[in-house]
Structure 1
């Protein structure tokens, strides 16, 4: 409130009171540069979650030979990894929303390092099976926590762009990891793969310890609260200046931590119809994606008789397409958000964030994705029949590229939508997503070989394309009724 002097007819000065609009509280007081570095560190931690799966595929025949077991037995370690990747993020995601991103990142990476050392030195199938489960348990949750960091830092109007950048990190493993594995297998044997993970993961752990600030909004709000010493980085160069915490805030934080950790709380999120539909759609996309990747290390190698470094190189088109599209998908989502707001006469506040209770966020996030979904189905069919008729190797690889590009648009849009649905617990909703998608993919991966042998690649991928296209009416329902469901939940 300001007071300005004015002069009356009698020459006597009086004070005129004018009202000044209050400055809205910023969604986050981290600077743009700090946000980018924080997301980059979180993305590097999440990178190992996907890498640990794809770096393993080219080594399967070598592990089978050295351990004296069948390919089918080694493939069980892939299925068990997926099952664990669905279960354990429920624990780490819930813990990250309660105790903070930083401490869970540190524990996950430290345990992951120790398990990789064990995988590198073991020489029995039982040890391999058990340690692969522990490897998944340690690192799979970093994927959901990385998305949680975006929910902490970024308003809905900018969320698509940051999610796209994060997806670039999380979707390079399908192409980079098998190539790394192929190069390692040329010079050394399969344990070198786990030594690579054991050496590289402490580098990211060190970056978390030294630089990553706490971002969880239940602990630091928009970063104005000062967290406990354990949640502070050694060098606070990525922390905002001037943080202050009153005694009342400190008491609230302490009381909040008295509540017991409940991993099953992530399942409660599935009671929301919109959340459930979005996760079911994402699970289908992830299943098709996983089965396509698995076909490269089985059917593709068998049809074209590839081996060694070539086996690693054939993963590149799919991964490159996903990495490139992830970046552009984020920009498309931000553009669609602005276009939707303008069409409905709504203002956008990138500073404090927008109230999405009346905003058709489902339409904004999915309006372009549905076009990519329609294009992706025929590409999947074409890929299957290209393998069936043993066309030139370039044909299925080109189809893989375009499948990766179209599928990535779906990944980015649905992941961003899930954060929009639950900005107060973004890591938990991603953990719920992990639970459903990984278990769903594990079931289909378990029957993939039988489907390929009984149906052939052509009809097998017709089935996957049909499964993919079934999500189109689900997305329509989500767009049509999503706002109504969210408003009912709010009431």
Structure 2
């Protein structure tokens, strides 16, 4: 009959992915390697701060500025990268950002070996942040491309596990190499080698938020205040990190479910907010610690976590009312 609409069958209406489980496993490894750069770069640098302060003849505040600038660039750049990735393809943006990261790392190694100029250190760290920030947001877009909503958690979990290794290994490697060699040249060179290897690898081929995160945060501050046994501090820190990772994974997976048409852009907006608040936190951390003490500071952080989780709880009826994704086939822009 003229004018009648074609009613899709049950099999047509059900979302499915054109990617096989084997393809998704390969992508999981590649995405994990690409996202590994951002936490590795941020955390491998921290044990080097006293060394850099001495060798670059800079104040502690000047060296801390390299961290602040890194966080600010990480917050802003994805806003420009993500819409490009959503429109023109994730693979192109990922490769371009990794190449920028490689150039920045090579520049840092050369600067540390040859001149040790502070302005170069500042600008090249910003270039590193520029390159590593895009991959941290495009992973959400690729996950949305290749997985139906019910399977996204199974893919993003291993990716974030690989990524979080950078948080664990970064300070250990940075401290060990810096202590053994007495300089940061090999640290920066290893970042360049890792990034170049990743480029070569990529080229061929109900969400409920737990409401317990505030307790280990406050406990950590009081344990430091009363000089508890190091094991107590480490256990509390590990538990706080676990809850943080849990909340991060749940909230970002929810975000790409709510915005399936622009997942990278949505992840970039979240990154801007998160990194922007991190930059503010870095700026006020020491003054607050001096005035309130570590126990008071961590108690304040725990209250902020509790308030934010309360807001999410109030919004949960609105979140649960979002209809399921109605697309018939999951397409991908990663291969473009």
Q: Which has the higher contact order (CA 8 A, sep 6+)?
A: 2
Aligned residue in 2 for 1:177? 170
Paired position in structure 1 for 2:245? 408
1:134 aligns with 2:127: yes
1:338-357 → structure 2 map (5 Å cutoff): none
Aligned to 2:207: 365
Cα distance change on mapping 1:22 and 1:398 into 2, 3 Å? closer
Secondary structure at the aligned position of 2:227 is classed as coil
Q: Deviations over 1:244-286 (max 9, x none)?
A: xxxxxxxxxxxxxxxxxxxxxxxxxxxxxxxxxxxxxxxxxxx
Deviation at 1:21, TM superposition (A): 5.7
Residue of structure 2 aligned with 1:472, choices 303, 309, 320 = 309
Partner of 1:209: 203
Q: Which runs of 5+ in 1 are unaligned?
A: 1-19, 212-363
> Normalized against structure 2, the TM-score is what?
0.89
For the pair 1:81 / 2:70, whether they are aligned, the reply is yes
Distance 2:78 2:137 in 1: 7
Q: Taking structure 1 as reference, are residues 481 and 129 closer, same or farther at Cα in structure 2, changes over 3 Å only?
A: same
| Secondary structure of residue in 1 paired with 2:203 | helix
Q: Is the CA contact 1:93–1:145 (under 8 Å) kept in the aligned structure 2?
A: yes
Give SS of 1:88's match: helix
1:81 positional shift: 0.5
Query: Helix, strand or coil: the match of 1:210?
Result: coil
Paired positions, count: 311
Retained in 2: the 8 A contact 1:151–1:423? Answer: yes
Query: Structure 1: how far apart are the matches of 2:318 and 2:268?
Result: 24
Q: What are the within-5 Å matches in structure 2 for residues 81-480 of structure 1?
A: 81-122=70-111, 123-188=116-181, 189-211=183-205, 364-366=206-208, 369-370=209-210, 373-374=211-212, 376-480=213-317
Gaps of 5+ in 2: 1-7, 327-336
RMSD after superposition:
1.8
TM-score by length of 1: 0.61
User: In 2, Cα distance between the equivalents of 1:160 and 1:111?
Assistant: 30
Deviation at 1:435, TM superposition (A): 0.8
User: How far did 1:26 drift?
Assistant: 5.5
Aligned to 2:30: 41
CA distance in 2, matches of 1:445, 1:146: 26
CA apart distance, 1:112? 1.0
- The change in CA–CA distance for 1:23 and 1:442 in structure 2 (over 3 A counts) is same
Query: How far apart are residue 187 of structure 1 and its match?
Result: 2.7
For residues 374-412 of structure 1, the C-alpha deviation after alignment (integer angstroms, 9 at most, x for no partner) is 2x2121111101111112211111111111112221111
By percentage of residues, which structure has more helix?
A: 2
**CA shift for structure 1 position 482:** 2.5
- How much does 1:440 deviate? 0.9
Q: Distance in 1 between matches of 2:69 and 2:81?
A: 18
The structural deviation recorded for 1:472 is: 2.4
Deviations 1:215-235 (A, max 9, x none): xxxxxxxxxxxxxxxxxxxxx
- Shift in Å, 1:95: 1.2
